Amino acid sequence: MQKNDIVKTVIEDIGVNGEGIGKVDGYTLFIKDAVIGDVVEAKLMKAKKNYGYARLMKILEPSKDRVEPKCRFARKCGGCQIQEMSYERQLEFKENKVRGNLERIGGFTPELLSRVTEPIIGMENPFYYRNKAQFPFGVDKEGNTVTGFYAGRTHDIIANTDCSLGVEVNQKILEIILDFMKEFQIPAYQETTGNGLIRHVLIRYGFTTKEIMVCLVINGKTVPHAESLVEKLKVLEGMTSITFSSNQKNTNVIMGDSYQILWGQGYITDYIGGIKYQISPLSFYQVNPIQTEKLYSLALEYADLKGNETVWDLYCGIGTISLFLAQKAKQVYGVEIIPQAIEDAKQNAAINDIKNAEFYVGKAEEVLPSYYEKYAKEHPGEKAHADVIVVDPPRKGCEESLLQTMTEMEPEKIVYVSCDSATLARDLKYLCEHGYEIKKVRTVDQFPMTVHVESIVLLSKLKSDKHIDVEL
């Protein structure tokens, strides 16, 4: 295969970035905008030894699962990779993706997975589910200020204030800000020159409380004529927090290190289940509250707490899962590397009057092993124990040193929440080689219209006799 070759292929799968995957004489092609089942004509743009990247030229036979996208920018935008695939097929794809990684990377048999896997949890309405959106601002070719989302794998802004994944009020807020910038000639930030003021706008929305937050991310120290913008925004029903965050660095990181209040308070509140959370511009908070409640309820169900357990929640963020667990546990310890998140977690525990949750700042792979070693020194002949360990790591998964400490603490149950099924499979393989077995696997679609998906796994400690049988 050579560059500029025109080929015909059937799309058999979807890649990690949402590209359709087809094969020509055993040669793998990644083709953006193609969905499973399409028969396409494509032009090879980049040829590697065993695979290549091709541009979709023509859909010769559309897949039975191809649908008209809700958003007219779906093909250009980098936010939704698979909006042109029916939602039923998206769910099937995501289940297969998780199962495939558990088989291929984890080495788990199809028979085992068929026995322990529960049906994927999808959404009744897979649109308008995001409670958070960050919109970049820039200038188009005619010199007009625009906002929207970046085109796939670029920093070119597609002008669009009406995203079908965000809440309706986002459009009104963005149009107010664009009008404000035009009225007072406030320039948008331009990455190429480093000039301009408004870089991004962060909008958060409380699905339960209906509270709204707007945070301007600026390339400066102040927002000129801020009082005029506040007057325009604060009349919107639910407006609770208007802030700005200064970020004058040449970086892809969106937010600055701090924020200042222009009007209202520095946070909004919202609920997951019966737990109330305060969410600041810098807080990590799951973007799909409907599915998050289902995911955390599963974590609580899998933990099966009776009221006398000690639980560790690793990578706890602002304490979302920790506080869910604390309702049923004797004691919960949360660990998170981000100091601001731990402050939020402590505050969230206080506002819910939860006194049996403690939080520690640090890397989970350092805090837990350090605690384990310290306990052994202070209690000769004993070792630290947990009844349940819940882990919700970033995409890279857990370091082996952490997995080792987890197994040495011998919890009866490990509940593993994952946003990357490849690293999940790798870590499950380690845990199952060191005294644990998979009891349940379930996929939760937190991010409809994208290739991303969450999984939750319950592992149980093997009985000693069963463990010996496995080793023999």
Q: Which residues are catalytic?
A: 419
Q: Which residue has the tokens 């023509």?
A: 58
Buried b (16+ CB within 10 A) or exposed e, 26-52: ebbbbbbbbbbbbbbebebeebeeeeb
| Alpha-carbon distances, residue 188 vs 139, 182, 198, 395 (angstroms) | 7, 10, 5, 32
* Token digits of residue 161: 């204030």
Given a contact cutoff of 8 angstroms between Cβ atoms, the answer to whether 435 and 407 are in contact is yes
CA-based torsion, 13, 15, 17, 20: positive or negative: negative
- Show the 3-state SS of the chain: CCCCCEEEEEEEEECCCCCEEEEECCEEEEECCCCCCCEEEEEEEEECCCEEEEEEEEEEECCCCECCCCCCCCCCECCCCCCCECHHHHHHHHHHHHHHHHHHCCCCCHHHHHHHECCCECCCCCCCCCCEEEEEEEECCCCCEEEEEEECCCCCEEECCCCCCCCCHHHHHHHHHHHHHHHCCCCECCCCCCCCCEEEEEEEECCCCCCEEEEEEECCCCCCCHHHHHHHHCCCCCEEEEEEEECCCCCCCCCCCCCEEEEECCCEEEEECCEEEEECCCCCCCCCHHHHHHHHHHHHHHHCCCCCCEEEEECCCCCHHHHHHHCCCCEEEEEECCHHHHHHHHHHHHHCCCCCEEEEECCHHHHHHHHHHHHHHHCCCCCCCCCEEEECCCCCCCCHHHHHHHHHCCCCEEEEEECCHHHHHHHHHHHHHCCEEEEEEEEECCCCCCCCCEEEEEEEECCHHHHHHHHC
Degrees, nearest 5: CA angle 263-269-274: 170
What's the rounded Cα separation, in Å, for the pair 375 and 371?
6
| Alpha-carbon distances, residue 369 vs 382, 407, 459, 460 (angstroms) | 15, 11, 20, 21
